[in-house]
């Protein structure tokens, strides 16, 4: 029975003294055979456990090593050491799990983030990753809180699907057919999926949007929050092959309602983390400041992490059309001096992350919502504007990251939608179940997708998306 244990965060919050307490956790350091810095993951702060000299036998003393798991009971007393109000004067110490000091991979020195990625279990026990994953938790909680308060229904959309929601063909196949070349074939040589587990060709979902739209046409407002998978070979600091996405879908919303909701949503969850994870954010802010010192002056950000978050929650996002963005980019000195890898020369091209980041970091210095993109570079389901060239799309771009949200008003007009699907070679027969939403009580509706890891990156200030997900999956890597 471990019920009487107190979490270290709770202990450190109060300055009550002279009472008995039991703590459990993992030893961070053990100094002078006397002072244990103990951490249980509830906070980045350690409790100091003091072992009175001579009170423990030699064998137990030797087993108090970095990484070992212990239970300590004793009196909580005022601490004389600096940086802590209280400490635990141990009357008994029990070793729950030994840790071989010789083999323990973490040293008291700084380890690189890349090295830590290889030891998934112990990276959770570092200050940096402790802070990141507590913030990640808070953001996830705030997301449910936001939508719950607004009366949205949390919808679980399938992970295995037969459709390609984005029409981009970046899917991982799901099959139980043999991979040794003996899978049944059709006459034309293609694989015959009739004998496959699902009797058809299936894949991991790239987005729950299409299923979400079905439910929005019944509940009015729904959201999904689940894993999505993309087999795009993008080895960047912003792409994962498995990432989590939040996709709200709202009936009776147009593009502007959609933008308003997305902006309110992002501000709400950031504010929640700022109010509930102050210590962790201050730690991450400090970390970022140190990291930035390694960069040349002109590449350092002007604002610290917390200042940046403060600024974002207290200011309106800039809203401009794709066409206006192209004009700004075409005319900017960066483009004229040929400093972009991809020069902006004409309307219609897709923006690269260097362009998105120029707009948010150099030009507007705040998050930007870009709207009304050319239809050629966006998905089939987006509502076609009257100009015949653009669609009612919106992307939200954040400083340091680029795109964090992609969304649109949806094409609710059956004829327009099917026409566009045919133009884009999207199989209408396979998506007949989706087209039913446009047959039976269609309504104007809109939605968006927020990349969860991208917002975690933004809030924690981490440069690489692989460091904000517990077990990252990316090209050539699926450890653990």
Q: Closer CB to ligand 4AD, residue 74 or residue 212?
A: 212
| Minimum CB distance to Mg ion, residue 382 (Å) | 11
- Confirm or reject binding of residue 402 to ligand 4AD (CB under 6 A): no
What gap in Å lies between CA 472 and CA 474, rounded to an integer?
7
The conformation of residue 434, written as its DSSP 8-state character, comes to H
| Minimum CB distance to Mg ion, residue 343 (Å) | 22
Give the footprint of ligand 4AD on residues 129-188 (CB under 6 A). Answer: 165-166
- Confirm or reject binding of residue 205 to ligand 4AD (CB under 6 A): no
- Confirm or reject binding of residue 367 to ligand 4AD (CB under 6 A): no
Binding partner at 383 among ligand 4AD, Mg ion, none, C-beta below 5 to 8 Å by kind: none
Beta carbons within 10 angstroms of residue 345's beta carbon: 9
- Confirm or reject binding of residue 243 to ligand 4AD (CB under 6 A): yes
**Looking at the DSSP assignment, which residues form a beta bridge with residue 294?**
none
In angstroms and rounded to an integer, the radius of gyration of the C-alpha atoms of the chain is 27
Binding partner at 23 among ligand 4AD, Mg ion, none, C-beta below 5 to 8 Å by kind: none
- Confirm or reject binding of residue 239 to ligand 4AD (CB under 6 A): yes
| Minimum CB distance to Mg ion, residue 358 (Å) | 18
- Confirm or reject binding of residue 369 to ligand 4AD (CB under 6 A): no
Give the footprint of Mg ion on residues 396-435 (CB under 5 A). Answer: 406
| Minimum CB distance to Mg ion, residue 447 (Å) | 13
What gap in Å lies between CA 17 and CA 85, rounded to an integer?
9
Beta carbons within 10 angstroms of residue 392's beta carbon: 23
Beta carbons within 10 angstroms of residue 461's beta carbon: 22
Q: Closer CB to Mg ion, residue 79 or residue 163?
A: 163
Q: Closer CB to ligand 4AD, residue 166 or residue 196?
A: 166
Contact present, 116 and 123 (Cβ < 8 Å): yes
| Minimum CB distance to ligand 4AD, residue 451 (Å) | 2
Candidate list 454, 456, 458, 467; residue touching ligand 4AD; CB under 6 A: 454
- Confirm or reject binding of residue 447 to Mg ion (CB under 5 A): no
Binding partner at 361 among Mg ion, ligand 4AD, none, C-beta below 5 to 8 Å by kind: none
| CA distances in angstroms from 265 to 271, 306, 380, 405, 449, listed in the order given | 10, 18, 26, 11, 12
Q: Closer CB to ligand 4AD, residue 207 or residue 371?
A: 207
DSSP alpha helices (H): ranges in 277-349? 278-293, 305-314, 322-331, 333-336
Q: Closer CB to ligand 4AD, residue 166 or residue 467?
A: 166
Q: How many residues does the chain have?
A: 480
Contacts of 6 (CB under 8 A, 6+ apart): 21, 22, 23
| Minimum CB distance to Mg ion, residue 129 (Å) | 28
- Of 468, 471, 473, whose CA–CA distance to 458 is shortest? 468
Binding partner at 442 among Mg ion, ligand 4AD, none, C-beta below 5 to 8 Å by kind: none
Using DSSP, state whether 61 is helix, strand or coil.
helix
Sheet holding 390-398: strands in order across? 153-154, 221-229, 242-251, 445-451, 402-409, 390-398, 368-374, 318-321
Q: What is the DSSP string of 158-205?
A: -SEESS-TTSS----EE--S-SSS-S-B-TTSSB-GGGSTTSS-EEE-
Contact present, 252 and 114 (Cβ < 8 Å): no
Candidate list 230, 253, 308, 445; residue touching ligand 4AD; CB under 6 A: 230
Site size toward Mg ion (CB under 5 A) is 1
- Beta-strand pair 368-374/221-229: unpaired
Give the footprint of ligand 4AD on residues 34-63 (CB under 6 A). Answer: none
- Confirm or reject binding of residue 447 to ligand 4AD (CB under 6 A): yes
Stretch that binds ligand 4AD, among 13-21, 239-247, 265-273, 320-328 (CB under 6 A): 239-247
Is 77 exposed, middle or buried (CB count within 10 Å of its CB: 0-12, 13-18, 19+)? middle
- Confirm or reject binding of residue 209 to ligand 4AD (CB under 6 A): yes
Residue appearing with tokens 């239970």: 71
Site pattern 89..128 for ligand 4AD (x: CB under 6 A): ----------------------------------------
What residues make contact with Mg ion under the rule CB under 5 A? 406
What residues make contact with ligand 4AD under the rule CB under 6 A? 165-166, 207, 209, 230, 232, 239-240, 243, 245, 247, 403-408, 447-449, 451, 453-454
């Amino acid at each position: 029975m471990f019920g009487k244990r107190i979490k270290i965060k709770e202990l450190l919050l109060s300055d009550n003294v002279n009472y008995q307490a039991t703590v459990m956790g993992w030893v961070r350091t053990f100094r002078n055979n006397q002072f244990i810095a103990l951490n249980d993951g509830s906070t980045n702060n350690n409790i100091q456990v003091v072992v009175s000299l001579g009170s423990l036998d030699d064998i137990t003393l030797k087993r108090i090593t970095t990484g070992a798991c212990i239970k300590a009971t004793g009196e909580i007393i005022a601490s004389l050491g600096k940086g802590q109000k209280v400490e635990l004067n141990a009357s008994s110490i029990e070793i729950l799990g030994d840790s071989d000091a010789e083999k323990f991979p973490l040293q008291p020195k700084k380890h690189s983030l890349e090295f830590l990625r290889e030891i998934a279990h112990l990276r959770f026990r570092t200050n940096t990753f402790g802070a990141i994953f507590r913030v990640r938790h808070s953001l996830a909680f705030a997301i449910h809180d936001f939508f719950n308060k607004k009366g949205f229904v949390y919808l679980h959309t399938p992970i295995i699907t037969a459709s390609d929601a984005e029409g981009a063909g970046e899917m991982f196949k799901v099959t139980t057919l043999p991979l040794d070349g003996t899978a049944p074939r059709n006459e034309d040589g293609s694989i015959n999926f009739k004998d496959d587990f699902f009797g058809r060709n299936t894949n991991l979902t790239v987005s729950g949007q299409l299923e979400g739209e079905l439910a929005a046409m019944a509940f009015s407002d729904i959201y999904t929050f689940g894993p999505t998978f993309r087999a795009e070979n993008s080895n960047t600091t912003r792409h994962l092959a498995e990432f989590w996405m939040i996709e709200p879908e709202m009936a009776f919303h147009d593009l502007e309602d959609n933008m308003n909701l997305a902006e309110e949503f992002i501000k709400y969850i950031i504010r929640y983390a700022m109010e509930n994870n102050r210590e962790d954010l201050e730690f991450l802010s400090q970390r970022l400041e140190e990291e930035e010192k390694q960069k040349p002056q002109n590449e350092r950000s002007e604002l610290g992490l917390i200042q940046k978050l403060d600024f974002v929650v207290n200011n309106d996002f800039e809203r401009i059309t794709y066409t206006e963005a192209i004009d700004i980019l075409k005319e900017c000195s960066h483009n004229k001096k040929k400093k972009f890898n991809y020069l902006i020369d004409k309307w219609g091209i897709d923006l690269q992350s260097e362009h998105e980041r120029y707009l948010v970091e150099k030009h507007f210095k705040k998050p930007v919502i870009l709207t009304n993109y050319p239809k050629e570079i966006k998905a089939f389901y987006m509502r076609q504007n009257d100009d015949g060239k653009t669609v009612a799309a919106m992307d939200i771009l954040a400083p340091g990251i680029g795109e964090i949200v992609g969304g649109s008003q949806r094409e609710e007009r059956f004829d327009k939608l099917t026409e566009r699907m045919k133009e884009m070679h999207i199989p209408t027969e396979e998506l007949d179940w989706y087209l039913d939403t446009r047959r039976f009580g269609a309504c104007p509706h809109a939605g968006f997708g927020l990349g969860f890891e991208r917002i975690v990156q933004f809030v924690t200030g981490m440069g690489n998306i692989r460091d904000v997900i517990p077990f990252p999956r990316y090209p050539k890597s699926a450890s653990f």
